[in-house]
Amino acid sequence: MAVSAAVEQQENSFKAGPSSRPFSGFERLVAWRYLRSRRKEASISVIAGFSLIGIMLGVAALIIVMAVMNGFRAELFKQILGFNGHVVVQPIDSPLNDYAELAKKFSAVPGVTMALPLVEGETLASGRGGSGTGALVRGIRAEDLTKLKSVSDHIISGDMVGFASGQGVLVGSRLAQQLGLTVGDQITLTAPDGDVTPFGVNPRVKAYTISGLFQVGMSEYDSSVVFMPLEEAQLFFNVQGIVEKIELFITNPDDVDELRPKIEEAAGRQIFLTDWRQVNATFFSALQVERNTMFMILTLIVLVAALNIISGLIMLVKDKGTDIAILRTMGATSGAIMRIFFMTGAAIGVVGTLAGVILGVVVCLNIESIRQFFSWISGTVIFNPEVYFLSKLPAQMNVSETVSVIVMALTLSFLATIFPAWRASRLDPVQALRYE
């Protein structure tokens, strides 16, 4: 009874003192003392350290993965839409034999930057050693290929002189490497749809001189595409005077729906339009699903680290039972005790989050150098371009996503401290000091 009266008296005196303000210097000092490592509480400090490291790694992993996924999507978006048209025009009623006139009409539509008539066909490409692989031949006019900067600005060997004169072809660098070819060599193309004879269909086989090698940075194109002059492609595929499609490049790919009526009006005939969203819907949807899944998995890492904060604080509360009772008898309120332990746990979350953000930003800014270093250490190719389609590992940080990761980590850390802090505030000083 006397102890209870003393506790109440000390609480009243504490409430009147200057140190009773929420988050006062006294409360911050006690919280900091509880975070410091001592011999007696070494195990608690170790748990707190592991919690901090867990939050740091979780936040850093989230930032790095989100940045890499964003960069991966942006780079693929740029490569795919820089190489292929945003809108594909195909005929319905009759072949595109007036493609030159149609290309001029489409180019005059506001928002359309280029209109490229194309002839495409699958072939078997072979080199000097007889090795062969599948190749996609794209017949295009020389002036149109010059406008296609994703190719014309990335010719790594040779030039477009032979192509412009109609005597040569442009070959992807990886395709040429697979066939053991270089500029000036002959590449043999075999088309399955050849001439019809009484003995069947003879495949069409013809050799072309390689005038240049291009490298757009996306292995799917660098390892399979051959650019051929349009007239020569029409002869090779036996489609003289016509093209299969006209690819349109527009200023803003997101304005496809607004430009559809204008393109159909400019055509003056029945046409079938396919935009880039329809062509790449499966690919980008799968990429978005993978991105969301990675976010959920890595969020669990931060959650586990936050749970470690709970276990560490509960052990700290049990170890500091006597200290809490003494503070209560000296006048500390239950709210002050709760705030002390809240600050103790929150400090771990805040420091871990800030360290994770710094680590994540540093890694994102040097992601390609880090990839090359680990590839050199392990002796293997990490993120093989043949698998991931890109010649280098991109990373593009998004401010809103980074802020959301920070807010999520801090929220989980703060929530994790509430229960242990509440238990500390509910500790009865009489029961804690009874056996002391």
Three-state secondary structure call for residue 250: strand
* Among 72-86, 192-206, 280-294, the least confident range: 192-206
For residue 360, pLDDT over 70 is answered with yes
Specify whether the CB–CB gap between 145 and 208 falls below 8 A: no
pLDDT band at 10 (very low <50, low <70, confident <90, very high): very low
Question: What is residue 137's three-state secondary structure?
Answer: strand
What pLDDT score does 15 carry? Answer: 45
Residue 79 has pLDDT above 80, yes or no: no
Q: What is the mean pLDDT of residues 185-203?
A: 74
* pLDDT for res 140: 92
What is the rounded distance in angstroms from the CA atom of residue 409 to the CA atom of residue 294? 16
The answer on pLDDT for 193 being more than 80 is no
Q: Spell out a b/e string for 173-192, using b for 16 or more CB atoms within 10 Å of the CB, else e.
A: bbbbebbebebebebbbebe
Any residues with CB less than 8 A from the CB of 415 and at least 6 apart, and which? 306
- In 17-129, which ranges are continuous DSSP H helix? 25-35, 42-83, 99-107
CB 202 within 8 A of CB 151: no
Please tell me the distance from the alpha carbon of residue 156 to that of residue 213, in angstroms, as a whole number.
Answer: 6
How confident is the model at residue 394, as a pLDDT? 78
Per mean pLDDT, which range of 4-18, 67-81, 129-143 is the poorest?
4-18
Highest mean pLDDT among 118-122, 285-289, 338-342: 118-122
12 versus 48: the higher-pLDDT residue is: 48
Cβ proximity of 383 and 312 under 8 Å:
no
Task: Write the single-letter amino acid at 294.
Answer: M
More reliable by pLDDT, 11 or 62? 62
Which pLDDT value is given to residue 39?
A: 53
Task: Give the residue among 252, 266, 416, 428 at the shortest CA–CA distance from 349.
Answer: 416
Q: Which range, of 38-42, 57-61, 202-206, averages the lowest pLDDT?
A: 38-42
Q: What is the pTM assigned to this prediction? A: 0.65
User: Does 8 have pLDDT greater than 60?
Assistant: no
256 close to 27: Cβ distance less than 8 angstroms = no
What are the Cα distances from residue 118, in Å, to 141, 190, 207? 8, 19, 21
Q: What percent of the chain has pLDDT over 90?
A: 10
Give exposure, 201-237, as e/b (b: 16+ Cβ within 10 Å): eeebeeebebbbbbbbbbbbbbbbbbbbbbebbbbbb
- Say which residue the tokens 């942006």 belong to: 74
CA 405 to chain CA centroid, nearest Å: 15
Q: Is the pLDDT of residue 249 over 70?
A: yes
Please, where are the H alpha helices in 320-378?
321-329, 334-365, 367-378
Going 300 to 301 to 304 to 305, the CA torsion angle's sign is negative
Which comes out higher in pLDDT, residue 282 or 178? Answer: 178
Residue of 30 and 71 predicted with greater confidence: 71
Q: Please count the other Cβ atoms lying within 10 Å of the Cβ belonging to residue 5.
A: 9
Q: What is the pLDDT of residues 82-136, one digit of tens each?
A: 788 888 998 887 888 888 899 999 988 898 888 999 999 889 898 877 778 889 9
Which residues on neighbouring strands pair with residue 390, listed in sequence order? Answer: 218
Residue 16: pLDDT band (50, 70, 90) is very low
Contact 216, 222 (CB under 8 A): yes
Lowest mean pLDDT across 80-89, 366-375, 382-391, 410-419: 382-391
Q: What average pLDDT score do residues 341-361 get?
A: 87
- What's the confidence (pLDDT) of residue 434? 62
pLDDT at 3 over 50: no
Query: Can you give the pLDDT at residue 5?
Result: 46
Residues 149-175, mean pLDDT to the nearest whole number: 87
Per-residue model confidence (pLDDT) at position 258: 87
- One-letter identity of residue 216: V
- pLDDT bucket at 169, cuts 50 / 70 / 90: very high
Burial (Cβ within 10 Å: 0-12, 13-18, ≥19) of residue 426: exposed
- pLDDT, tens only, 201-237: 677 888 899 999 998 877 778 888 999 999 999 888 8
Average pLDDT for residues 302-325, to the nearest whole number?
77
Element counts in the chain: helices (H) and strands (E) = 19, 10
Burial class of residue 59, CB neighbours in 10 A (0-12, 13-18, 19+): buried
Cα separation, 183 vs 162, whole angstroms = 11
